[in-house]
Structure 1
């Protein structure tokens, strides 16, 4: 069943976790595109300020205080959207937070509480949105925010990984069932890599020192870009950052290598030994976290955007560009081989037996180098 979704400027979009980070940026970008917004989170003050900001700029938005870990609260979000705008067209299950601590450290109570938000919040939101789309009989989009850690586990964030793995499994199963019954619902799973949001500050942490993403970090607008594209164009998956896609692929083909890699980079990549933890004051596990902040306190290589998100938005053009790069690199490789062969023949014209051997050796080295360039280019494009 081919599903046609409305343009953003004709949509009402529900965003959970809208008070900070990815949800906040998504709401602002959606409002700029002309969409009506239903903003949901536990931080009511931040939501009201955001709704007022959007209305002051000529947009339409309402704030709905809700804890997505409570099914009645999630249903209240839908009821408020219908009461204000008559319907909604896209539902974004974005609310989430993490726990930093080893498997034998994190209490069962903390694990259950996090699952309420990260997994059950997605289940409640998905069921509520799908029910609405089926009842009205016109297409709608359900967008669930997964994670690279939903594709590949990491030490130290075991509860978050487990919850996101569950989100991925739920989303894939739901998509297939809806497709089987030809329901008018587009289901997209977004796979962000490391994103510069208050993720670390809002996490529950068992560490003495502050947790922090260190390495390649993408801005939250890259995730919002993927979300809003999926809101208007049916997509199965959207990966945010080449990091997420390449490491997933690597984990699929070399799982033990990825185990060792994650073991080596976990502590230096997720903890800042120079800062004492602020998480006891800022943790959002049992209370609303601080709001209206798009970015966090990450460290590392900050990317300005994601090339791979743009490739997924224009797959035919991206394939043509990659093919063109491959042809150009192969042509350059052949030209270099030809030059080396010519130079070798000129330097040793009397050694006819040695020339083919030298040429063959040169060919092998050049081909290997070209392959490395192509692989690196593809990784960068991803």
Structure 2
């Protein structure tokens, strides 16, 4: 069944994790393009200021303070969107938080709390969105923000990888079930690479030094571009940054090569040795993080955008790029004589 989604300017979009980073940028971009936005996060003050900012610019916005790890609060979020605007057309499960620490040192309570946000929050949101679209009988979009680390595990962020792997599996299974019953729901999984947001500042860290991206970093606007394209055009997957797609493909074809590469590169490129680590009590794992900041404090090669996102809007370009990645992966994986 071919689904037809509304133009963005006619949509109501629910965005979790809207107080900073990807969610904040997506909300601002969606509002500028005429969408009505429903803003969800734990930071009530940041949401209120963002809603006021959007209204002052002529847009329509509703702020709904929400802990996505609570099913009851997510139900209230969906009900508030319907009460204010009569419906919603796209639901974006974006809220997330990470933990930096090795498998044997991260506490079990920290692990469970992070799964509440990264995995269970997306499950609650997915079920609410699907139920709404089925009830109204009109096509809508569900967009889950995954991660390259949901395609390929990494040292240092074991809990985050595990939660994103679970989210990817949930999204794929849900998509297939909905296709089988011909439900009016477009399900998209977004796979960001390293993105310049306050992700590291909000993370719970077991490290002595501040965690930070050190390498190729993409702007949050590229993720927002992918999200808003998927809100209007049914897409199975959107990869943000060619690095995300390339490393996922190579990791699948040549897993031992990728093991060794990540063991060598990930730990040193996740730490800024010049800055002491923030107090774990200031992280956003249990309490709301600071809001209204789109970018973080990273070091590296800051890209102005993602050509691969733009290529995915034109499938033949993405196919050419993927063919090149596949060829390189085959060369890496083939037996040496």
TM-score of Structure 1 vs Structure 2, range by shorter chain: over 0.9
User: Cα offset for 1:314?
Assistant: 1.4
Counterpart position of 1:56: 56
Alignment correspondent of 1:200: 200
SS at match of 1:238: strand
SS of structure 1 residue aligned to 2:120: helix
Q: Over residues 37-84 of structure 1, what are the superposed CA-to-partner deviations in whole Å (9 max), with x where a residue is unaligned?
A: 000000000000000000000000010000000000001111000000
1:82 and 1:88 in contact (8 A); partners too: yes
Which residue number corresponds to residue 146 of structure 1?
146
User: What is the count of residue pairs matched by the alignment?
Assistant: 328
Of the two, which has the highest radius of gyration?
A: 1
Retained in 1: the 8 A contact 2:97–2:203?
A: yes
1:101 maps to what in 2?
A: 101
SS at match of 1:26: helix
CA distance in 1, matches of 2:287, 2:318: 43
| 1:77 has 2:77 as partner | yes
Q: CA deviation at 1:280?
A: 2.3
- Please, what is the CA RMSD of the aligned residues? 1.8
Segments ≥4 residues shifted beyond 4 Å: 317-320
Map 1:121-136; keep pairs closer than 5 Å: 121-136=121-136
Distance 1:163 1:318 in 2: 28
Distance in 1 (alpha carbons) for counterparts of 2:145 and 2:85: 24
Could you tell me which runs of 5 or more consecutive residues in structure 1 were left unpaired when the two chains were aligned: 327-370, 377-382
CA contact (8 A) 2:12 2:90 kept: yes
Distance 1:71 1:138, change over 3 A: same
TM-score by length of structure 1 reads 0.84
Question: Where does structure 2 lack aligned partners over 5 or more consecutive residues?
Answer: 330-337
For the 8 Å contact 1:201–1:282, the answer to whether it is kept is: no
Tell me the TM-score normalized by structure 2. 0.95
Three-state SS of the structure 2 residue aligned to 1:133 is helix
Going from structure 1 to structure 2, the CA distance change for 1:211 and 1:317 (only over 3 Å counts) comes to closer
Q: What is the distance in 1 between the residues matched to 2:310 and 2:226?
A: 8
Higher relative contact order (CA 8 A, sep 6+): 2
The answer for the alignment partner of 2:232 in structure 1 is 232
Matches within 5 A, 1:262-281: 262-280=262-280
Distance, in Å, in 2 between the alignment partners of 1:101 and 1:46 is 29
What secondary structure sits across from 2:142 in the alignment? strand
Query: How far apart are residue 375 of structure 1 and its match?
Result: 5.9
Matched position secondary structure for 1:62: strand
Where do residues 328-347 of structure 1 align in structure 2 (5 Å cutoff)?
none
Partner Cα distance (1:35, 1:244) in 2: 28
Partner of 1:289: 289
What are the superposed Cα offsets for residues 88-147 of structure 1, whole Å, 9 maximum, x if unpaired? Answer: 000000000100000000000000000000000000000000000000000000000000
Q: CA separation in 2, counterparts of 1:65 and 1:27?
A: 15
Matched, 1:300 2:306: no
Q: Distance in 2 between matches of 1:210 and 1:269?
A: 11
Given that 2:308 and 2:318 are in contact with CA atoms closer than 8 Å, whether structure 1 keeps it comes out as: no
Question: Which residue of structure 2 lines up, in the alignment, with residue 314 of structure 1?
Answer: 314
2:297 and 2:204 map into 1 onto residues whose CA distance is 16
Stretch deviating more after TM superposition (123-132 or 280-289):
280-289
CA contact (8 A) 1:10 1:34 kept: yes
How has the CA–CA distance of structure 1 residues 279 and 307 changed in structure 2, closer, same or farther, with 3 Å as cutoff? Answer: farther
Q: Any conservation in 2 of the 1:201–1:296 contact (CA below 8 Å)?
A: yes
2:12–2:36 contact (8 Å) kept in structure 1: yes
Q: Which residue of 2 aligns with 1:65?
A: 65
CA contact (8 A) 1:23 1:94 kept: yes
8 Å CA contact retained: 1:115, 1:163: yes
Q: Which residue is equivalent to 2:184?
A: 184
For 1:231 and 1:72, the matched residues in 2 are separated by 26
* 1:319/1:170 CA distance change after superposition, 3 Å: closer
